[in-house]
Amino acid sequence: MTAVRPAGPDTATPKAGVGRRRAITILVATAVLVLLADLGTKQWALSTLTPSEPVRLFGGAVYLTLIRNSGAAFGLGSDYTWVFPLVTLAVVGWISWMATRLRSLPWAISLGLVLAGALGNFTDRIFRAPGPFLGHVVDMVSLFDPYGQTWPIFNLADSALVSGVILAILLELTGRQRDGTRVRSGSDRAPDGTDRDAPTETRTAPGDPDAGPGSRDREVS
């Protein structure tokens, strides 16, 4: 007779993850590469585009329009520009805390994207006019309209930030933890409520001829 150990609906099961040093390396590499790409596209936009002459791409699905944004999406918070760098510092602190147990490749990429997005716009807030902590962010991509009437004009840093957050949400919903483990849901269990992948423990009735020399005899009801 074979019995299996039951598992609850939120049982964390080990999963082969990457080492912490490798995960941190992937996080930093992702952040650096995306940050450099963001700074490069902003410099290209400043030297090539003009606000009065949007560039139409893909039949009008995308426009390249140079603007300097003092606020957030749709110009929200334009009178409180100094707040955004403080939010960025909080995000960097949160990512640093998350990295203390980081052993997951998908989480490393997610956090790297969020970090790059936050630092990309933080750089603008610090170093661009009109001054430190008041700098305007360089945006250049507009969807379906040349002047951001359909969707806020954004940049690569914004895209990286949104992509990283979406990936983090998906990882949470699927039970993937940043330490490389996975929280198993009820769908991962057999119809009798036991964990499909849980190790089994064999119990034999007294006198069972198939019992090995190391087996423990237990009364079977």
Catalytic residue positions, numbered = 139, 158
Lookup: tokens for 191: 């119809």
d(CA 108, CA 180): 11
d(CA 48, CA 138): 13
Q: Assign 3-state DSSP to the chain and report helix, strand, coil percentages, each to 5.
A: 45, 20, 35
Please report which helix (H) or strand (E) contains residue 21, including its range.
Answer: helix 20-48
- The CA–CA distances, whole Å, from 43 to 4, 38, 118, 132, 151 equal 61, 9, 18, 18, 22
d(CA 36, CA 51): 23
DSSP label at residue 186: G
d(CA 149, CA 111): 30
